[in-house]
């Protein structure tokens, strides 16, 4: 029997929405949304990045990223310039934090500790969860890249029917 509360997809979806909501009041005073915060983290960590590289790191479509980058640029937090590594490609832009963006990123150093405090969970548990989620991301990417839809559906059908008969495992 399929039970909503035992579905991994349900737990991931609810957890993602709730955790982003926990970040909101911490990020709002800095003038950042959660996706903007992730952009700032990536640029602070990696320095100058192309839109394509940032898109890959954040696993966001460039079309989704573009308006977000424009807002950060309008706020004076990042600069979009021709990529010096590929000056011939005029479409390829390098993204870098401005001084104002770097200062805000320094302020954001306190965010993780504030989130841990707001969640009220042991850091070790959160670190273990992050590791497990990273493995789920990798496994789902492998499954998406390697499995034709029909073969995956057949495996899921066998997995659902088999454990359901034995007591209703979760997926």
Provide the whole-model pTM: 0.79
Domain 4-120 has CATH 2.30.30.40: no
> For residue 37, which of 9, 68, 81, 10 has the smallest C-alpha distance?
68
> For residue 136, which of 3, 7, 8 has the smallest C-alpha distance?
8
> Of all residues in the chain, what percent carry a pLDDT higher than 90?
73
List, for residues 144-170, the tens digit of each pLDDT value.
999 676 555 555 555 544 444 444 455
Stretch 113-135: mean pLDDT:
96
- Residue 66 token pair: 């573009």
pLDDT over 70 at 89, yes or no: no
pLDDT given for residue 164 in this prediction: 45
Q: Give residue limits of the domains in the chain.
A: 4-120
């Amino acid at each position: 029997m399929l039970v909503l509360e035992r579905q991994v997809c349900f737990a991931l979806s609810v957890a993602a929405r709730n955790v982003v909501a926990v970040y909101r009041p911490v990020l709002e005073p800095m003038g950042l949304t959660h996706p903007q915060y992730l952009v700032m983290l990536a640029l602070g960590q990696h320095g100058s990045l192309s839109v394509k590289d940032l898109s890959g790191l954040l696993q966001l479509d460039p079309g989704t990223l573009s308006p977000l980058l424009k807002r950060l640029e309008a706020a004076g937090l990042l600069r979009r310039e021709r990529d010096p590594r590929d000056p011939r490609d005029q479409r390829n832009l390098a993204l870098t934090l401005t001084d104002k963006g770097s200062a805000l990123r320094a302020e954001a150093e306190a965010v993780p500790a504030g989130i841990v405090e707001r969640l009220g969970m042991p850091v070790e548990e959160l670190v273990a969860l992050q590791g497990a989620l990273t493995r789920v991301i990798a496994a789902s990417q492998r499954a998406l890249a390697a499995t034709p839809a029909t073969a995956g559906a057949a495996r899921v059908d066998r997995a659902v029917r088999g454990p359901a008969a034995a007591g209703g495992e979760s997926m």
